[in-house]
Amino acid sequence: MDKVLIEGLEVRTVIGIYDWEREIRQTVRLDLEMAWDISTAGKSDNIADTLDYKMVSKRLIGFIEQSEFGLIEALAEACAKIVIDEFAVPWLRLKLSKPGAVRGSENVAVVIERGS
């Protein structure tokens, strides 16, 4: 199966379980790998024949900016559900990172795979 990737999509949101985290916006970063047959678009050169990664990105940005999850696990699940349900993506791997969440580390993240 072909794949469409979105890498390093950064969004500011309320995320975290501590009181101070509920009062600020932090950056989360998404990396998505989405299964998609691109052969039709490869022949037609028409955006209507492929997965519109700009629309996927805009939808996720809007959702994440308005969300207020405690855990990155819950946010990752919600994002995966949007992509699968609204864009008919049959399978995805999603990495959701929260840079600087642990002192001394560059990043913490979860990686999930959903779909068939």
Active site residue ranges: 98
CB–CB of 48/35 below 8 Å? no
Q: Please give the structure tokens belonging to residue 53.
A: 């990664």
**CA torsion, ordered 7, 77, 52, 25, to nearest 10 deg:** -60
Query: Under DSSP, is residue 47 helix (H, G, I), strand (E, B) or coil?
Result: helix
Alpha-helical runs (H) found in the chain: 39-44, 53-66, 72-87
